[in-house]
Structure 1
Amino acid sequence: MQTYLVEQMEGDDVITVRVVNAPSPFKAAAMSTDRHVTLRTWEKDWIRVTDENRGHIFAYCFVSNANPDTNGPAKAPKKSRKAQKADQERE
């Protein structure tokens, strides 16, 4: 399993920090918060997951309803949609 740095964010401020061993950044975000997460859509409260070995940053937000979302990782700002889809397929 990969090790990820998971930060729960409020705007640009870090609220909590955890190091999580997980099979993917998406799972790391869900495991560290014990909540369902989805691709980030610019909410004030969000989760930043950093894969420090590869230099990738992923952004997630909390699912507002009770149904889990399985869309996979959000792209970092400079990551193409094609690369994001490839990340989803690897999971």
Structure 2
Amino acid sequence: MQTYLVEQMEGDDVIAARIINAPSPFRAAAMSTDRRVTLRTWQKDWIRVTDENRGHIFAYCFVSAEDSDTSGPTKAPNKQKKGQKADQRAG
């Protein structure tokens, strides 16, 4: 396992920091915060993870409630694929 410095950020300010041993920087961010994370989008609250051995820096953000919907994409009503239209006419 690698050692990572995980910092919770508010803009450019560090609001919390922990040293975490984890298999990846992504897992270190999730383990440190006990929340789901994703690659960083430009949000005020984010997580900076530094690989202590290599000096690499990674940035993640928290998954919002609207992004965590796992039901899959929704389809527009009455929208059919071309293949479906042909099948319906033939049968």
Identity percentage of aligned residues: 84
In the alignment, the residues of structure 1 paired with residue 24 and residue 68 of structure 2 have an alpha-carbon distance, to the nearest angstrom, of: 20
Cα-Cα RMSD: 1.4
Give the C-alpha shift of residue 52 in structure 1.
Answer: 1.9
TM-score of the superposed pair, with normalisation by structure 2: 0.71
CA distance in structure 2 between the aligned counterparts of 1:52 and 1:30, rounded to whole angstroms: 17
Distance 1:6 1:39 in 2: 14
Q: Tell me by how many angstroms 1:45 deviates.
A: 0.1
User: Displacement, 1:2?
Assistant: 0.5
Q: Which portions of structure 1, spanning 4 or more consecutive aligned residues, are displaced by more than 6 angstroms? A: none
d(CA) in 2 for partners of 1:56 and 1:15?
20
Q: Which runs of 5+ in 2 are unaligned?
A: 70-91
TM-score, normalised to structure 1, is 0.71
Counterpart AA for 2:68: N
